[in-house]
């Protein structure tokens, strides 16, 4: 029973990681842009959300409604002003640019919000739980998982069946050939990054409801997102979702073995996948 409980909690934790990983799956898995500031953007959005909630007494839903469009705008600007200048076949320039942005954001946040940990007041929802077959399941983690599933499903459909999705997949496969077909890759990439960071708007609200956030927390979120995408397989949206589940379950089971072992267990599973199946559990092998 204890292990079944760990499994359920792991899946629920995976729902949180999936929200970080989806944006990463789009940027790193599809566009091949390494965004080191991914985690810092989640933290920045969380802190903005918390400040709005405290200043105006907003409920989490209202914060979400304001934060997601703001995140979309941030993503669009990030691509327009920074990433479009460094995209190309070489991944190094985007890595360096976003690494610099990551450090700048962390220090900016430290300046504005100080190093204190904060969280978003959830008015009781964060502590509610329901009992299913002898296991207590938190209401908030269930919502997180449901939202993550919905976002994955929606993103997958957008990529497969819309003009924007096809243009993005084409630009990712061969950016020059895409422009020869009339696609403006920069416009498509700007929209894709807007979507990716927009999803982080959801992650920010749920992360700050679930636990506390502080300006230096970004890099850890970045690592989880990277691990989930690589475990799942590059370029596969559902792969990133399932990779997040694997990571969540590994951590939850690790925590049951020893409270200090949880995060390490996740890293070990990641390393094991990387060593034995580098294309990811659900990715296609490329030559």
Residue 163 in the binding site for another protein (CB under 8 A): yes
Nearest one of 52, 286, 22 to 147, comparing CA atoms: 22
Concatenate the DSSP letters of all residues of 14-39 into one string: HHHHHHHHHHHIIIIIIS----TTHH
Partner residues linked to 130 by β-bridges: 137
Q: Is 277 in the site for another protein (CB under 8 A)?
A: no
In whole angstroms, the minimum distance from the beta carbon of 187 to another protein comes to: 9
Contacts of 226 (CB under 8 A, 6+ apart): 24, 28
Contact pick of 59, 143, 170, 216 for another protein (by CB under 8 A): 170
Mark 217-236 with x for binding to another protein (rule: CB under 8 A) and - for no binding: ------------------x-
Stretch that binds another protein, among 48-56, 80-88, 167-175, 263-271 (CB under 8 A): 167-175
In the complex with another protein, the residue whose CB is nearer, 149 or 181, is: 181
Instruction: Tell me: does residue 157 bind another protein (CB under 8 A).
Output: no
* Span from 19-27, 35-43, 178-186, 204-212 in contact with another protein (CB under 8 A): 178-186
Neighbours of 112 (CB within 10 A): 12
Piece in contact with another protein (CB under 8 A), picked from 21-29, 108-116, 161-169, 265-273: 161-169
From the list 59-67, 87-95, 181-189, 207-215, the region that binds another protein by CB under 8 A is 181-189
Distant-in-sequence, close-in-space partners of 66: CB < 8 Å, separation ≥ 6 = 49, 52, 58
**Shortest spacing between CB 169 and another protein, in angstroms:** 6
45/75 Cα distance (integer angstroms)? 11
Residue 136's beta-bridge partner residues?
131
Residue from 182, 260, 275, 285 that binds another protein (CB under 8 A)? 182
Residue 232 and residue 239 in contact, taking contact as beta carbons nearer than 8 Å: yes
Rounded CA separation 139/217 (Å): 24
Q: Contact, 193 vs 34, CB < 8 A?
A: no
Minimum distance of another protein from residue 225's CB (angstroms)? 22
Q: Which is nearer to another protein, 235 or 254 (CB)?
A: 235
Q: Please identify which residue in 32, 80, 166, 277 interacts with another protein, judged by CB under 8 A.
A: 166
Scanning 131-278, the segments in alpha helix (DSSP H) are 139-161, 163-173, 175-179, 185-210, 218-232, 237-257, 262-276
Out of 183, 242, 246, 265, the residue judged to bind another protein by CB under 8 A: 183
Tell me the β-bridge partners of 129.
138
Name residue 135's beta-bridge partners: 132
β-sheet bridge partners, residue 138: 129
Q: Between 185 and 262, name the residue whose CB sits nearer to another protein.
A: 185
* 11 versus 194: smaller Cβ distance to another protein: 194
Give the binding site for another protein (CB under 8 A).
Answer: 163, 166-167, 169-170, 173-174, 176-185, 235, 284
């Amino acid at each position: 029973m204890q292990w079944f409980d760990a499994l359920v909690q792991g899946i629920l934790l995976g729902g949180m990681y999936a929200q970080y990983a989806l944006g990463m799956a789009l940027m790193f898995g599809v566009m091949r842009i390494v965004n080191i500031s991914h985690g810092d953007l989640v933290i920045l959005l969380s802190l903005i959300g918390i400040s709005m909630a405290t200043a105006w007494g907003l409920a989490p839903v209202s914060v979400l409604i304001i934060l997601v469009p703001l995140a979309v705008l941030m993503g669009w600007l990030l691509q327009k002003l920074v990433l479009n200048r460094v995209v190309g076949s070489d991944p190094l320039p985007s890595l360096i640019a976003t690494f610099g942005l990551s450090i700048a954001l962390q220090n900016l946040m430290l300046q504005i919000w100080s190093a204190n940990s904060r969280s978003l007041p959830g008015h009781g929802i964060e502590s509610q739980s329901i009992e299913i077959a002898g296991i207590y399941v938190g209401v908030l983690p269930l919502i997180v998982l449901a939202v993550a599933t919905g976002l994955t499903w929606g993103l997958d459909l957008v990529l497969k069946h819309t003009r924007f999705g096809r243009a993005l997949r084409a630009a990712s496969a061969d950016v020059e050939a895409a422009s020869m077909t009339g696609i403006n890759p920069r416009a498509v990439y700007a929209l894709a990054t807007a979507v990716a960071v927009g999803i982080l708007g959801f992650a920010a609200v749920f992360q700050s409801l679930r636990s506390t956030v502080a300006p230096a927390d970004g890099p850890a979120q970045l690592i989880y997102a990277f691990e989930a995408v690589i475990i799942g397989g590059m370029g596969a949206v559902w792969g990133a979702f399932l990779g997040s589940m694997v990571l969540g379950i590994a951590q939850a089971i690790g925590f049951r073995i020893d409270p200090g072992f949880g995060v390490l267990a996740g890293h070990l599973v990641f390393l094991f996948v990387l060593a034995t199946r580098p294309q990811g559990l659900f990715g296609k092998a490329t030559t």
